[in-house]
Amino acid sequence: MGIYDRDYFRHTSGSREQFGQLRMWSITTWLIVINVAVYLIDALLLRSGTWVGVPLGNVVVGDEVRTIVTPMGPLEAAGHFSAATAIWQLQVWRFLTFQFLHANFQHLLFNMLGLYFFGQMMEAYLGRQRFLTFYLLCGIAGAVSYLVLWMLGLLVSSPRTPLVGASAGIFGILAAASQVAPRATVMLAFPPMPVQLRTWAYVLLGISIITVVFFGQRPGANAGGEAAHLGGAVLGMIMIKSPTLLSLIGPHPGLKYRRA
């Protein structure tokens, strides 16, 4: 059976949802538009000279203690996540806002491709309201996972090290999609080969685990980002397997669906 023939790709009226195809005004569409708009606005403000100097920590130079300051666009400065801002300064909105910020264009591109390919599928499965809540909760779980692993000493970083990106939420919907349609085929760009969705999800999770466990103490390994991926994926897996939890985040979407 092809993935488009599965019941969860049809509304009760019989119309089809396409895998990897955006519907105008869908939640997935809006999420991509908002992420791209935020990145472009902040990049333009930064390039125009409208930036904020954000302290990342202190270093000792000779007999002096100097503060490392990095320039950020105003949106990134106000919305990025870190232990110092979100916890110590009680700026709890950062658990949400960091999900709409990206470090560079490549970071944005790969995240939006992941949202494009898997977001529409899970939106059709869960319904608009539940999908949005599901996605944002997985993002929040990514920030919590980052905090917990940092407090356990698995991540070497300053409490002011910024965490940005939609990856945690996307890993949540990827993990959920791997349970809904585990035998769906994903065509990799490199190497160019087909792989089952469930296998690809487990490979990515394995990379995240290895990075955190073996490279978490190495600067530049992006172990903090991988820690967030784990948190989003774990919560996504838990919620998609629990009808009770799904019922708590929104009403039944009125879609006819079943598990693969």
Structure confidence by residue, pLDDT tens digits, 205-229: 999 999 998 887 777 778 889 999 9
Q: Which pLDDT score, from 0 to 100, does residue 113 have?
A: 94
Is 198 within 8 Å of 182 (Cβ atoms)?
yes
Instruction: Give CA separation, 204 vs 30, 174, 185, 216, in Å.
Output: 26, 10, 15, 16
Q: Which pLDDT score, from 0 to 100, does residue 55 have?
A: 85
Burial of 218 (0-12, 13-18, 19+ CB in 10 A): exposed
Q: Which pLDDT score, from 0 to 100, does residue 1 have?
A: 37
Q: Which pLDDT score, from 0 to 100, does residue 64 have?
A: 73
CATH of residue 81: 1.20.1540.10
Task: Show pLDDT as tens, one digit a residue, over the chain (260 residues).
Answer: 333 344 444 433 333 444 455 666 899 999 999 999 999 999 999 999 898 988 887 666 667 767 788 899 999 999 999 999 999 999 999 999 999 999 999 999 999 999 999 999 999 999 999 999 999 999 999 999 999 999 998 887 788 989 999 999 999 999 999 999 999 988 877 778 888 999 999 999 999 999 998 887 777 778 889 999 999 999 999 999 998 888 888 776 544 444 44
Q: Is residue 97 one of the residues assigned to a domain?
A: yes
CA distance 200 to 184: 10
Q: Is residue 167 one of the residues assigned to a domain?
A: yes
- Tell me the residue range of the domain where 222 lies: 12-256
The sign of the CA dihedral 171, 176, 180, 183 is positive
Q: Is residue 72 one of the residues assigned to a domain?
A: yes
Q: Is residue 195 one of the residues assigned to a domain?
A: yes
Burial state string for 88-103 with b = 16 or more CB within 10 A and e = fewer than 16? eeebeebbebbbbbbb
How many structural domains compose the chain?
A: 1
Q: Is residue 196 one of the residues assigned to a domain?
A: yes
Q: Is residue 148 one of the residues assigned to a domain?
A: yes
Q: Is residue 212 one of the residues assigned to a domain?
A: yes
Q: Which pLDDT score, from 0 to 100, does residue 258 have?
A: 45
Q: Which pLDDT score, from 0 to 100, does residue 66 have?
A: 76
Q: Is residue 4 one of the residues assigned to a domain?
A: no
Torsion angles phi and psi, residue 57, rounded to 5: 155, -175
CA distance 227 to 225: 5
